[in-house]
Structures are given as C-alpha cells and as structure tokens.
Amino acid sequence: MARLGHANPAASRRYQHAARARDRAIAAGLDIILQEVQGAPAR
C-alpha cells in the first residue's frame, strides 16, 4: 500500500490487488534474470 501513495486506507485498498499482481510479475521477471546470470535454466 505504501508504494501506491494514496492519502487514505480506503483508496489504497481499492487498488491493492493490482499492486499485488504487479509485484508478483516483477518478482518473476527478476527470478528469470537472476537464474540467467547464475547460469541456471529459467523456469
């Protein structure tokens, strides 16, 4: 929620699901990059 910068909790809750999905996508991308750098096959 903090990353979204909303002024109140109600507004941040409305958009929390979108941020959670984006966080998962970012983590998956970083995992692929890290595996390639380490020489392991990407998932």
Q: Is the pLDDT of residue 2 over 80?
A: no
Domain contains 43: no
CB distance 15 to 6 below 8 Å: yes
pLDDT of residue 29: 95
Helix (H) or strand (E) holding 32: helix 9-38
- Which domain does 22 fall in, by range? 2-38
pLDDT of residue 1: 41
**Rounded to two decimals, what is the model's pTM?**
0.56
Domain contains 16: yes
Domain contains 12: yes
Domain total for the chain?
1
- Give the long-range contacts of residues 39-43, CB within 8 A, separation 24 or more: none
Predicted confidence band at 43 (pLDDT cuts at 50, 70, 90)? low
Write out pLDDT tens, residues 11-40.
Answer: 777 777 777 888 899 999 999 999 989 886
CA-CA distance, 30 to 16, in Å (whole number)? Answer: 21
